[in-house]
Amino acid sequence: MNAAPLPVLMLVPTGIGCQIGGFAGDALPSARLLAAASGCLITHPNVMNGAALYWRDPRIHYVEGYSLDRFAVGEWDLQPVRRQRIGLLLDAGIEAELAQRHLQVAEGCRATLGLEIGPVVTTDQPLEVQLEQGSSGSSWGRLGRPDALLRAGERLKQAGATAIAVVARFPEDPASEELAEYRAGSGVDALAGAEAVISHLLVRHLQIPCAHAPALAPLALDPQLDPRAAGEELGYTFLACVLVGLSQAPDLLPAGEGALQAAQLGAVVAPEGGLGGEAVLACLERGVPLITVTNPSVLTVSAEALGLDHGVQRARSYAEAAGLLLALREGLSASSLERPLPALERLS
């Protein structure tokens, strides 16, 4: 392929139970395919994070959701880097043994993957994560002590960290119906909304890459586990994928200072029912082509619901979306691939 890379946003909103991307990194194969088709894919951690599993691809840029919105709006640019120094932020509410497990993951990533990690800071107060659910069924959450989170983040940045991995102690109910549904492949990730709150707060305050891994006790074996949830059952923590993703996450720079800018975007790919986010709407305002993919969730914010008549192409799968991206990248009209071939428009 001789065509230049086509920068593309891949969005899978977190905490809404998407059939693809609502579980433990199960959108990774789709992201890899879109990256191959476009040559340059910008997506957020919940697409890439597979708990104990991960995949590094130089064509994929790992960008937290708040910063991805700021990029799409045109307020921030992205600057690819060779390496980030990842500060590790631990919630004071994590039990000593569980905290040690997370420190061992960080040490293992240093020794085995060559990542630059440190320093480590524990918050001066427990973060007191609370899980909630919206009326639509999407997950949400809040922090009892956001001030403790921000103070710890400031200490890490001042100590030289250029990115931050956060591990917060999450409430858990192993017998809950919601958890059973999620592990069976039919529910919403109850943790995802609160995770987004944590990373959004830090990125907004510090303007450096951040991502979150929840601290939870291991679950009892479930022989009927859905494959999409299996990545979360392989170890004591979800931290490894976050550290790998952050290790080469792009820097976040003011508009006009980075190599990747919103004006370069060639397309945005999003679930057909999850189009209400700031990034999608900002792209539509600038005329960036939107490819919607059949990917059911608890939301139904579709192109029809938003009154969108133009600039939307529909794909039945991410494989079909990859074909549309290839057409865009090669300068081919998507309509030329249809049969019957649409008639030419004639002006009266």
Summarize pLDDT for 89-111 with one digit per residue, the tens. Answer: 999 999 999 999 999 999 999 99
Contact 140, 193 (CB under 8 A): yes
Q: Is residue 1 part of a domain?
A: no
pTM (2 d.p.)? 0.94
Q: Is residue 206 part of a domain?
A: yes
Reported as a single tens digit per residue, the pLDDT across 306-330 is: 988 787 999 999 999 999 999 999 9
3-state class (DSSP) for residue 234: coil
Contact 274, 297 (CB under 8 A): yes
- Paired with 6 in beta bridges are 39
Contact 274, 13 (CB under 8 A): yes
274 & 324 share domain: yes
Q: Torsion angle, CA of 249/253/259/260, rounded to 10 degrees?
A: 70
122 & 233 share domain: yes
94 is in which domain, residue-wise?
Answer: 86-251
Cis peptide before 340 (omega within 30 of 0): yes
111 & 206 share domain: yes
pLDDT of residue 2 exceeding 80: no
Q: Which two tokens stand for residue 77?
A: 């640019």
Contact 331, 309 (CB under 8 A): no
Give the Cα separation of 339 and 124 in Å (integer): 64
195 & 270 share domain: no
Cis peptide before 342 (omega within 30 of 0): no
Q: pLDDT tier at 160 (50, 70, 90 boundaries)? A: very high
195 & 213 share domain: yes
108 & 247 share domain: yes
Q: pLDDT tier at 1 (50, 70, 90 boundaries)? A: low
Q: Which two tokens stand for residue 57?
A: 């691809």
Q: Which two tokens stand for residue 46?
A: 């919940």
Reported as a single tens digit per residue, the pLDDT across 5-16 is: 999 999 999 889
Nearest residue to 181 via CA among 298, 299, 272: 298
Q: Which of 251, 270, 305 delimits the end of a domain? A: 251
97 & 240 share domain: yes
Q: Which of 234, 251, 268 delimits the end of a domain? A: 251
Reported as a single tens digit per residue, the pLDDT across 276-294 is: 999 999 999 999 999 999 9
97 & 220 share domain: yes
User: Could you give the C-alpha distances from 105 to 56, 79, 212, in angstroms and in order?
Assistant: 17, 27, 14
